[in-house]
Amino acid sequence: MKVLSKIQSPKSKIGTVLFFTASAIFVIFAAISTAGSSASDKLTVYVVNYPLKYFAERIAGDHAKVVFPAPADVDPAFWMPDTKTILEYQKADLILLNGAGYARWVNKVSLPRSKILNTSAKLKGRYITMDETITHSHGQGGEHAHENVAFTTWIDFTIAAKQAKSIADALGRKRSALRKTFQKNYKALEKDLLTLDQALVAIVSKDLSKSFIGSHPVYDYLARRYGLNIKSVHWEPDEAPGDAEWMELQTILKTHPAEWMIWEGNPMKKSVEILKSIGINSIVFDPCGNVPIEGDFLSVMLQNVENLKRAYR
């Protein structure tokens, strides 16, 4: 009875109410603060091309918001972001660059060095310098050239895997608690990339003497890694080549008897037909610099591999 009376005393009631109210407030605040911190924990990663976006998303999973702000209809290599977009890049936790001179706009804007990761910085020795460099001179600087380095590094899938590794390491440095998760995700991505690599090695090794024409000089890394014999012209898939372009092709064909032309995107029907009439078939190997209309990086590359298989049948 004494115990019951104690429990039911008004003082005790007030104490109990106060205790529960305080506990409830504490729980609510704790929940709010936890929710806030987990949201802010999500890394914001800005990238300069789609392959890097794909790699970062695969590695980071839900732990990062990966942003690639280039419009769908532009080539990100030659795109120039507006001021608003540059300021957004500046606020990111991590900015992923492709390196090899890709996205020249990077040299014309201010980005925080501490947040920049050049994913191919450790592979500088593997960069390919293109022959088509015109030097010029003016003023005190004397003769100089604007060096042209081939930048579609990721279509050599071994380089792509290394770029992905540097992304995984950088993400791990930013969120050390998630390092193991990032490395695990990277391993899965590396496996996919190296499977593609081996598939291409197997296909091309069937006939190393086969010659190709590249519709654009973007296949340097592909050619070097897999032993493809490619000479390039400067044709756009969605534009009909002019007389000068056809003449240029004829000149190349005299010393480089190719039976296949590799296109960056689906070519115009008319171009395909004219090429066919001179004994050149068309296949598409999309470097996938921008977000594909359908599928993702891996599915596009798998399709590329399938397309290339046609040339070796």
Partner 1 sequence: MIDSFYIAWRYVSFNKIKTLTLVACITLISFLPVALQLLLAESERQLISRAVSTPLVVGVKGSALDLVMNTLYFGDEVPELITMKASDRVMETDLALPIPVYVRFRARGYPIVGTTLDYFEFRGLKMAEGRQIAVLGDCVVGAKAAEQLGLKVGDSLVSSPETLFDLAGVYPLKMKVVGILEKTYTSDDLAVFADLKTTWVIQGLGHGHQDLTKLQDPTLVLKRTKDNVAATAKLYHFTEISEKNIDSFHFHGNTSIYPITAIIAVPHDAKSGTILQGRYLSKEETHQIAKPKEVIDGLLQNIFRIKNVLDAVILVVALATVMAIVLVFALSLRLRQREMQTIFKLGCSRMTVVQLVSSEILIIVLSSGLLCGAMVLLVDQFSNDLVRALFIR
What residues make contact with partner 1 under the rule CB under 8 A? Answer: 80, 83, 86-87, 90, 107-114, 134-141, 143-144, 146
CB of 164 to partner 1, least distance (A): 20
Residue among 96 and 193 whose Cβ is closer to partner 1: 96
Nearer to partner 1, 118 or 271 (CB): 118
Would the CA dihedral through 75, 80, 85, 91 be positive or negative? positive
Comparison of 128 and 272: residue with beta carbon closer to partner 1: 128
Question: Per residue in 152-171, is it b (16+ CB within 10 Å) or e — as a string?
Answer: bbbbbbebbbbbbbbbbbbb
User: Least distance (Å) from partner 1 to the CB of residue 107?
Assistant: 7
**Number of residues that this document lists for the chain:** 313
Min. distance of Cβ 98 from partner 1 in angstroms?
Answer: 17
Nearest approach in angstroms of CB 83 to partner 1 is: 5
Residue 45's contacts (CB-CB under 8 Å, 6 or more residues apart) are: 56, 60, 64, 65, 66, 67, 92, 93, 94, 95, 96, 171
- Our CB check for partner 1 shows the closer of 111 and 274 to be 111
Residue 97 contacts residue 56 (beta carbons within 8 Å): no
Residue 185's DSSP bridge partners are none
Sheet holding 229-232, edge to edge: 229-232, 211-214, 260-263, 281-284
Under DSSP, is residue 86 helix (H, G, I), strand (E, B) or coil? helix
Residue closer to partner 1 by CB (options 12, 135) is 135
CB of 135 to partner 1, least distance (A): 4
